[in-house]
Amino acid sequence: MILILGGTTEGRLAVRLADAAGSPYWYSTRGELQQIDCKHGTHITGALDEAAMAAFCQAQDIRLLVDAAHPFASELHRTVAAVAESLDLPVVRVERRYPEEDPGIHWCDDYTEAIRRLEADGITRLLALTGVQTIAKLRPYWERHDCWFRILHRDESLEKAAQQGFPADRLVYYEEDDEAALIARLRPQAILTKESGESGGFPQKLEAAQAAGIPLYAVRRPALPAGFAVVTGEHGLRKAIERLVPGFFPLRSGFTTGACATAAAKAALLALLGHEVGETVDILFPDGETLSLPVELLNPRKGDSATAIVVKDAGDDPDVTNGRQIVATVAFSDEPGIHFLQGEGVGRVTLPGLGIPVGGPAINRVPRQMMEQNLSALYDGGLDVTISVPGGRELAQHTFNPRLGVVDGISIIGTSGIVRPFSNEAFVEAIRREVEVAVAVGSPMLVINSGAKSEAFLKARFPDLPPQAFVHYGNFIGETLKIAADLRLPKVVMGIMLGKAVKLAEGHLDTHSRSVVMNKEFLKGVAAEAGCSPAAAEAIDRLTLARELWKGLGDADARRFFSAILDRCYAACAPVYPMPVRSAAPVSVSLAEKCSLAENALAASLTILLLDEDGNVFESLPC
C-alpha cells in the first residue's frame, strides 16, 4: 500500500498516476479544500504528526511514502523523514521543476532575511505574493510599511488574515487580477514571492516584475531531508513505484529506443570530453523530466570518438527491441551542429513523409531533438552521432518499417521517451507515420483496413494504388480517421469486416474486445428499425460470431440489415472525419432510388466497404 501526502498540483499528478494502476492507495491532505476524485484510493484529511503518521502506516501496511506536498511544507517533510526512518520506509519526493536561478533576483534564505533586505534597499511599498500563511512571518514589515498580500478569496484564507490583524483593504485576490494588472493598479516598488517553481507560477511572477522594471525578492525553498528519492514528473514517479512497490502497477513501463540512444550518446560525449561516466546517465525527456538510464562504455575514448551502449528495457511491453543493445558513437566534426549517421541495424529512409531526409538514417524527429538538446547542453561544437542496433536488420522484418519504405534496419523512435506496456500510443503513432507516407508519395486516396486479410481484398479492388496507400487501423478506427482529418485527406476508403462493423455501428470507435463486445440487443434493434422480419431477430439470438449473419439472414433481411449497419457506421465516423451529410435510405425506396443514393454515398469523402469472409464487398445501399 502507498500513502501519498498531497494537497498540491503534484498531489493531483500522483493521484492520477496511482489511479492508472488500479491498485488501492491512500491520499492525505491537511485540509478539506482540495476537491479531488480518488478512483482507487481513499482520501483522508487532517494534519498527521509523527506518532499519528507512524501508527497509520503500521495499521495500513504502508510500504512507500510519496511526498507530493508543497515545497515550503517543512514540518510535514520532517515528519515524513522521521516516520520513514523509524519504520524503514522509502520516500519518493515529487518535486516541482524550478527554473535556473536568475542573477537579477534578490534571493533570501528566509522571511527574516527578506525583511532585512527590503528595508535596507528602501522598499516601502511591497506586493507580497507569498500567500496567507506568510502574513504572520512578515508582520514586522507590514506593520511599518505599505504592503498588499494576494490570497485565495475563500473563508479560510480571509479568517487567517483577520486573525493576524492584517487590514482587509490591503488584501488582493488570485481571482481578480494577474500579476501585471496588480502591479499597474497598486504601483509597488517591489514584489516578494517564494521559490514556488513552475507549477507555482514563479516564472510568470518574474516576468511581470521584469516587465514593470521593479525588483523581485524571492525566499528560497527549504532543503529536503536527506534520503528522499526525488522525481520531477509522472514517468519518474511511476518508475520509482515500480521499483519500490513491485506489483502496484500490473505491468512495468520501459524506455523507447530514442531514449536509449540519447542516453548512450550522452555517455559517449561525456567520455569524449574527458568526464567520468558512472553506471547511469541522466537525460532530459521531452516533457521536461530528468530520468536516469543505465549505460556502459564500450571504449572510454578512441581517438576523436567514444562509444557507449544502453540495453533496451521495454518493461513488460512485447517490443521486438527489448533486451537489444542501442549503441551510440560520438565523434568531433569540423561542421557545426549535430549530424546523425546510419550505423549497423538502423534503417535508411527511402520514401518522403516521415519528416526525415530521404537517404538519411531512420532516427525519428523526437529522438533527434532529445539527442540535440542533451548533447548541445554539454558541447556547442560540431558532432557526428552514429546510432547502431546489432541485429536490427532482422528485427525490422517484424515492424512497420517495410511498409514505410525504411530499409536495412529498425527505426529509432519514441515521442515521450517512455514505453507504456501494450502501448496504444505507439500503435497510433505508427499509423500516423504510415498515413504521412501515403500523403507524401501522392496516393489519390487512403485505404484503411483492419489487418492483412481485409487488406488483401482491398488491394485486389484497387490494384493501381501504391502499396503505401493501404494502412492498418487495427482497432483504432477513430484515431485513424482523426489522423486523416488532421492531414486533410480528401478521400478515405475504409474496409471493415462484420465483427468490427457491428461494434462501430453502435458508436465504438475503438473496437478492441477489452473495450466492447458484440451487443445482440443493439443488433436486434437495428434489424427492427430496418424493417427486417422476425426471422432476423431469431438469427441474431443464435449468433456466436457476427460473421455468421452473412449466411444467417435471408436476402431481403440482409439488404435491409447491412445497409442499416453501414448507415450507423457512417454516423459514428462523422464526428471525427467530417464528410457530406448522408441520410439513411427508407426501406421502401425503389431500386433506382437505392442506386442513386449509393452513387451519392460513394462520392462522399469517406466510403465504407463492408467485407465478407471471401472478400465480397457490401457497399452502402447496394444496387
Domains and CATH numbers, the chain: 2-95+225-244 (3.40.50.720), 106-219 (3.40.50.1380), 254-422 (3.30.2110.10), 425-619 (no CATH)
- The Cα 333–Cα 384 span in angstroms is 6
Summarised one tens digit per residue, pLDDT across range 239-250 is 999 999 998 988
Q: What is the pLDDT of residue 155?
A: 87
Please tell me what DSSP assigns to residue 303: T
Question: What b/e readout covers 141-159, taking b as 16+ CB neighbours within 10 angstroms?
Answer: bbeebebbbbbeeeeebbe
Average pLDDT estimate for 203-213: 92
Summarised one tens digit per residue, pLDDT across range 370-414 is 999 999 999 999 999 999 999 988 888 877 777 778 898 888 888
DSSP 419-468: EPTT-HHHHHHHHHHHHHHHHHTT-SSEEEESSHHHHHHHHHHSTTS-GG
- The Cα 134–Cα 162 span in angstroms is 13
- The Cα 366–Cα 601 span in angstroms is 40
Q: Is residue 582 pLDDT above 60, yes or no?
A: no
Q: What is the pLDDT of residue 579?
A: 56
In a 13 Å sphere around the CA of 37, the CA atoms on its Cβ side amount to 2
- The Cα 586–Cα 590 span in angstroms is 9
DSSP 555-569: HHHHHHHHHHHHHHH
What confidence tier does 424 reach under pLDDT thresholds 50, 70, 90?
low
- pLDDT higher for 422 or 577? 577
Instruction: List CB contacts of 167: < 8 A, sequence separation 6 or more.
Output: none
Q: What is the pLDDT of residue 293?
A: 95
- The Cα 419–Cα 518 span in angstroms is 31
- The Cα 603–Cα 597 span in angstroms is 10
In a 13 Å sphere around the CA of 348, the CA atoms on its Cβ side amount to 8
What confidence tier does 267 reach under pLDDT thresholds 50, 70, 90?
very high
- pLDDT higher for 199 or 285? 285
Query: What cell does 463 get?
Result: 490494384
Q: What is the pLDDT of residue 513?
A: 58
- The Cα 472–Cα 496 span in angstroms is 11
Q: What is the pLDDT of residue 489?
A: 87
Q: What is the pLDDT of residue 78?
A: 95
Contact 24, 44 (CB under 8 A): no
Strand duo 2-5 + 25-29: pairing: parallel
Contact 259, 417 (CB under 8 A): yes
- The Cα 55–Cα 549 span in angstroms is 62
Q: Is residue 56 pLDDT above 90, yes or no?
A: yes
Rounded CA Rg of the chain: 31
